[in-house]
Amino acid sequence: MSGYGHADKIAAIAAGASVVGGEKPTPPIDPRLYDRPEIRPIVAERDIAGLYRALNDAGVPQRRIAELTGQSPSEVSEILKGRRVLSYDLLVRIADRLGIPRELMGLSHGDRGAPTLDGVTVAEPPEGVTAEMKRRAVVGALSVAVVGTPLVRFSEQLVELALPPAGEPLPSRLDMSHVHTVRTATGRLRDLAREHGGQAELFGSAARYYTRWLDAPVTDVVKARFKAALSELHTETGWCCYDSGVDGMGYFTRAARLSDEAGDTYGIVNAAYQAGATMVRSGHPNDALKCFQIGQFQLAGPTKTRPVTFGADDPRMSTVAARLDMVSAAAYALMDYPKQARDHLAKARDGQIRDAFARAAVDLNAAMTLRDLGRLDAAESCAQAAARGFGEHHGRGVALANLVRAELHVRAGEPRGTAMAKTAMESVSALRSVSLRRVYLPPLADALEARRGSDAEQLARMARQVAATSA
């Protein structure tokens, strides 16, 4: 970037001169710079390295940036070389001292008031940012992690959720106990989400809180492990945002970057799988396939000059590989490519899946894919296996499996289909999953409406009503 049309004015202001007559104090940087279309995405994403480069191009030297932001020249140099700024306090200081309105960086929301999710403040994307741009940001971050090259233009990268102000002191030094703390918290929150659905607010709070710990002193080895643990937490948070009916693409983007910085193969593949899985059922199978193909490319082995630190021998790799094939089959089925769907479905079912939950999840996705391919009998068998496999502590999975079974029985015209539909709807109503309501209840309502009889019509209306309610 070069030549913003007023670079000489910016340089003069940075040098302490007055631009117009010296009648009143001027801000350290011309605020009009931050409203330019090529600069707003940089500011919104809180890409401080990109911001500093833009200021350099506009005539503000590195030394002056250090003076304005209260940083040392060496710190500014490290940021320009790629070190990310994640500290909320430092981001606020940079924004304030450079004259950037905080709301442009997702640090506050001016006079409009901050949107919240059950009391948790979340960043609102800047004007003009679309859902497609958010999906492309995830694909871009994954491609950088795997091959070192973004598949989208930088200007289409998007905001991640802002970190909250410091509420508790940081650890004096990070060690492996802090890594275990994050992994334990992730596991317990995951169990809660699998039982009740939703939980975006709890996951989001945990992701923001533990990310602050990156500012504490730490060795390189522990930092890599800690970033890998944070990546998994952010990936789970992105999925729970989807299940809670809110946007969580920023969490997937951050998860990909954290795994990349950690050299964590499993983290990259897991982020690709879960981000793409949310895209499939949100009606964007083409974008989902890009994520899956990047994940499968990473499974083939290291592709960047930077060595993989760990994760290639993670025992979960065979399971996530099978799940990548499973959701790839779902995407191809929705895009009406039955051969590719069948091929990936066969690979997924033959994969080495090491835990009962993952096996049940593969069976459930197989049921939905077979349904979309018109193989209703085989789909019912898979849905029944999924319901058994999830067990009593995975309420969301059981409810979805029974929902799919009910739809299949209604579509087949079986007498017990309406009773199954009523039971499935009651189960969904008791959960906090918005995606079950919005994504999976409407097909059941369609099947009920196509079936004659007052009972079916009444249940169809009930399904529409439940689908329209919040969890």
Do 307 and 229 reside in the same domain of the chain?
yes
Claim to verify: residue 106 and residue 147 sit in the same structural domain: no
Structural domain count of the chain: 3
Question: Which has more pLDDT, 138 or 470?
Answer: 138
Q: Tell me, yes or no, whether 323 lies in a domain.
A: no
Residues 171 and 104 reside in one and the same domain: no
Q: Let me know if residue 103 belongs to a domain.
A: yes
Percent of the chain with pLDDT over 70: 80
pTM of the model: 0.70
Residue range of the domain that includes 20: 7-111
Residue that wins the pLDDT comparison between 282 and 313: 282
- Over residues 251-256, the mean pLDDT reads 93
Residues 6+ apart with CB under 8 A from 238: 248, 249, 250, 251, 252, 255, 271, 274, 275, 278
* Closest C-alpha among 376, 405, 373, 368 to residue 388: 405
- What SS3 state is found at 449? helix
Which residues, in sequence order, are bridge partners of residue 310? 264
170 inside domain? yes
One domain, residues 93 and 158: no
pLDDT in tens, 94-123: 888 888 887 777 665 333 344 333 333 444
Do 164 and 263 lie in a common domain?
yes
Spatial neighbors of 34 by CB under 8 A, at least 6 apart, are: 40, 43, 99, 100, 101, 104
Looking at residue 112, its pLDDT comes to 36
Q: Is residue 88 part of a domain?
A: yes
What is residue 116's three-state secondary structure? strand
Residues 78 and 147 grouped into a single domain = no
CA of 264: how far to CAs of 112, 301, 320, 325, in Å?
40, 12, 14, 20
Give the CATH number, domain containing residue 54: 1.10.260
Q: Is residue 167 part of a domain?
A: yes
- Same-domain status, 295 and 154: yes
Among 408, 402, 410, smallest CA distance to 457 is for 410
**Are 80 and 147 found together in one domain?**
no
Q: CA dist 298 to 13, 266, 267, Å?
A: 48, 9, 10
Q: Identify the CA nearest to 404 among candidates 390, 425, 389.
A: 425
What is the Cα–Cα distance from 313 to 301, expressed in whole angstroms?
11
Q: Name, in order, each residue with C-beta under 8 angstroms of 130's C-beta and a sequence gap of 6 or more.
A: none
Q: Domain for residue 244, yes or no?
A: yes
In a domain, 405, yes or no: yes
DSSP, residue by residue, 195-231: HHS--HHHHHHHHHHHHGGGGS---HHHHHHHHHHHH
Per residue in 342-378, pLDDT tens? 999 999 888 788 788 989 999 999 999 999 898 999 9
pLDDT score at 7: 39
Instruction: Pick the more confident residue, 288 or 124.
Output: 288
Q: Is residue 247 pLDDT above 50, yes or no?
A: yes
Is residue 88 over pLDDT 70? no
Residues 163 and 252 in one domain: yes
318, 347 Cβ separation under 8 angstroms: no
CA 415 from chain centre, in angstroms, equals 41
Residues 213-233 have pLDDT tens digits of: 998 999 999 999 999 999 999
78 pLDDT more than 90? no
Per-residue pLDDT at 128: 57
Q: Residue 433: what pLDDT? A: 93
- 372 part of a folded domain: no
Co-location of 152 and 281 in the same domain:
yes
- The whole-number average pLDDT for the span 122-141 is 67
Q: From CA 30, how far away is CA 13, in angstroms rounded?
A: 7
Averaged pLDDT score across all residues of the chain: 80
State the pLDDT at residue 308: 53
**Given 267, 290, 314, which residue is the final one in a domain?**
314
Domain's final residue, options 111, 127, 161? 111
Question: Which of the four pLDDT bands, split at 50, 70 and 90, describes residue 410?
Answer: very high
468: exposed, middle or buried (Cβ count in 10 Å: 0-12, 13-18, 19+): exposed
Do 161 and 237 fall within a single domain?
yes
- 7-59 pLDDT, tens digit per residue, is 343 334 333 333 333 433 344 677 788 878 888 878 877 788 889 988 988 88
Same domain, 157 and 267: yes
- Where a domain ends, among 268, 290, 314? 314
